[in-house]
Amino acid sequence: MWVFILVSMRKMNEATMLSKRKPGDLKVILTCLALLTAFALPRAMAGTDMKAITPPSCCSCSERDWTIELGTGAAWSNVRNGQPNQAYTIVPISLTASLKLDDVSLDHFLGGWLRGYSEFYFRGDYQQIVHGPENHFEDFMAGPRYNFVQPGWRIIPFVEGGVGFGFGDSKPQLGGLGQDFNFTFEASAGARYNICDDFFVRLAVQYQHVSNAGLSEPVNPNHPIDELGPKLSFGYSF
């Protein structure tokens, strides 16, 4: 390439003395310039394109497919307070695995405000009941999560919802759960902060409903739990 450029430059220098050259020399010079332009222009354009699509050094969305995280928090059932439904104070411990379902999309839909990607999560909870008739409740839930991603952001807002089932040491005679086996669903919203490509923290506010859907009736009344509270988790992407 450099040899070609040097030859072309020589021809251009010689062009400054057109009065001393023959008309055929001008054709040679113009041909060299055309070849040089055709050779250099695509490379220059390619360089511009590559620079435009190069992601920032701090990427807001990990390219890993799986994440795993451990979290805890606190929840209260003040939505339903007093007899026949008891008030609860609960400390959950959660282990969650999430699978990335698609790539970031919706860049141009509604001005890009919905830009993001989807996940499907699987969660196991051990819930220590600090205040309430029962002592503990364990459940398994699964459901979708949507992450809102903007270029260069370390903070990723999200919403999620899941359904599942669980078991507890029910105390229907004390106004607690009607039976040990119960169904459950949850809805959460919050944000994830990417510490680096591998590690992140997540802060969320979660609502969870626990109920046996009337299966304990008529022997025992169905006293559901509606808990609401914050959760903080620490995760790893792989």
Residue 59 inside a domain? The answer is: no
**Is 225 within the bounds of a domain?**
yes
pLDDT digits (tens, 9 = 90+) for 27-62: 444 455 444 444 444 443 344 333 333 344 344 445
Would residue 60 count as lying in a domain? Answer: no
Burial 139-149 (b: 16+ CB within 10 A, else e): bebebebbbbb
Residue 141 lies in a domain: yes
Work out how many domains the chain is built from and give that number: 2
Residue 193 lies in a domain: yes
Same domain, 81 and 40: no
Does residue 86 lie within any of the structural domains? yes
Rounded Cα distance, 102 and 4, in Å:
47
| Residue 18: pLDDT over 70 | no
Q: Are residues 46 and 78 in the same domain?
A: no
Q: Which domain holds residue 99?
A: 66-237
Higher pLDDT among residues 83 and 30, named by residue: 83
Q: Does a structural domain hold residue 7?
A: yes
Report whether pLDDT(86) > 50. yes
| Claim to verify: residue 205 and residue 164 sit in the same structural domain | yes
**pLDDT given for residue 108 in this prediction:** 83
Q: Are residues 70 and 173 in the same domain?
A: yes
The answer on 164 and 105 residing in a single domain is yes
- Judged by DSSP in three states, 5 sits in helix
- The CATH number linked to 118 is 2.40.160.20
Question: Does one domain contain both 14 and 116?
Answer: no
Q: Do 111 and 180 reside in the same domain of the chain?
A: yes
Say yes or no: 136 and 227 in one domain.
Answer: yes
Which of these, 157, 204, 213, 158, lies nearest to 185 by C-alpha position?
213
Report which of residues 81 and 180 the model is more confident about: 180
How far, in Å, CA of 9 to CA of 29, rounded? 9
The continuous run of DSSP H or E covering 122 comes out as: strand 116-131
Q: Which amino acid is at 106?
A: L
Span between the terminal Cα atoms of the chain, in Å: 43
- 38 and 90 fall within a common domain: no
pLDDT in tens, 196-222: 989 999 999 999 999 999 999 999 999
